[in-house]
Amino acid sequence: MTYEERVRVFYDSALHCYQAIMGDRWHHADPDALTVGLPRLRGCEVLEERIVALAGIAPGARALDFGSGVGGPTLHMARVAQATFVGVSNNDRLNELARAKARDVGMADQVSFVTLDDLGYKDLPFPAASFDAVTFFESVCHVPDKAALFRELARVLKPGGRLGGMDWIQRAYGEHQSDADVLRFMAPVNEAISIPWHGTVESYASMMRDAGLEVSIARDLYAGIRCWSVVQDDETPAWATYTGPEQQMFRRGEEALAAARRAGVFTIGMWIASKP
């Protein structure tokens, strides 16, 4: 089984649990929004709106959302930007739900969801220079060949178009400075959540540059502090007591993630890059 297939199968199992706990937003919220007391869902929307603005997604633009899950972020970005979006993922069950949601809210003409083969991210089914913008929310982390993905995302961007996204990454923190020490906390996360390896703020920026993009923002959303957000405080009881398919796997995953958050070595990155 390829790693990409493993991730597809993981999302078959995760669907019930993720929807039950996170609804249709499977990414971290904007930390500043949470700090001022906004609820998690609004915090997710705020981060999506920030990325829409930073990626310059204007009314009438055509954008690609890589790893679109059940479509919550894709639909919200299309709505606020008044843009057309194509969401892609390698799991057709997720895409079916995303398509149904687009139909329910009357946005099926504006937002479509395309299922890729497991290795389709290395050869996206879109012509070169066919999108004004590309977004990603906590999806690149699952891909083994991240450099190939960034090359493809750069290929499908129009000159002047921007890539914007956020993702799970790792870093040295506090007493945990060596790669081995960081990996001691991150390896159980990788195993439980089907992540082949975590990048860093800088390694993502470097892959984007190698793909021919100019990086204008590459930042750790939790610079200098633990990524231990209000979301986490809200969600921990829900994850810890979750009952349903694969409950042991998800409880184990949550424990591993909580340990990595506590050690400070897990964090969230955000990037904006443009195609010259």
Ligand X SMILES: C[S@@+](CC[C@H](N)C(=O)[O-])C[C@H]1O[C@@H](n2cnc3c(N)ncnc32)[C@H](O)[C@@H]1O
Smallest distance from ligand X to CB 276, Å:
26
The interaxial angle of helices 3-22 and 92-104, nearest 10 deg, is 40
Smallest distance from ligand X to CB 177, Å:
28
Smallest distance from ligand X to CB 101, Å:
12
The nearer residue to ligand X, 26 or 85, going by C-beta atoms, is 26
The nearer residue to ligand X, 7 or 218, going by C-beta atoms, is 7
The nearer residue to ligand X, 118 or 234, going by C-beta atoms, is 118
The nearer residue to ligand X, 176 or 272, going by C-beta atoms, is 272
Smallest distance from ligand X to CB 8, Å:
7
| Interface contacts to ligand X, rule CB under 6 A | 4, 7, 11, 25-27, 67-69, 72-73, 88-91, 94, 116, 118, 121, 137-139, 142-143
Question: Using CA atoms, how far apart are residues 43 and 137, in angstroms rounded to an integer?
Answer: 14
Smallest distance from ligand X to CB 57, Å:
15
The nearer residue to ligand X, 149 or 263, going by C-beta atoms, is 149
The nearer residue to ligand X, 117 or 210, going by C-beta atoms, is 117
The nearer residue to ligand X, 161 or 253, going by C-beta atoms, is 253
Smallest distance from ligand X to CB 252, Å:
17
- Written as one string, the DSSP assignment of the chain is --HHHHHHHHHHHHHHHHHHHHTT--SPPPHHHHHTT--HHHHHHHHHHHHHHHTT--TT-EEEEES-TTSHHHHHHHHHHT-EEEEEES-HHHHHHHHHHHHHTT-TTTEEEEEPPTTGGGS-SS-TT-EEEEEEES-GGG-S-HHHHHHHHHHHEEEEEEEEEEEEEE--BTTB-SHHHHHHHHHHHHHHHT-S----HHHHHHHHHHTTPEEEEEEETTTTS-S--HHHHHHHHHHHT--STTHHHHHHHHHHHHHHHHHT-EEEEEEEEE--
Smallest distance from ligand X to CB 108, Å:
19
The nearer residue to ligand X, 160 or 245, going by C-beta atoms, is 245
Smallest distance from ligand X to CB 175, Å:
29
Q: Are 145 and 4 in contact (CB under 8 A)?
A: no
Question: Using CA atoms, how far apart are residues 255 and 160, in angstroms rounded to an integer?
Answer: 42
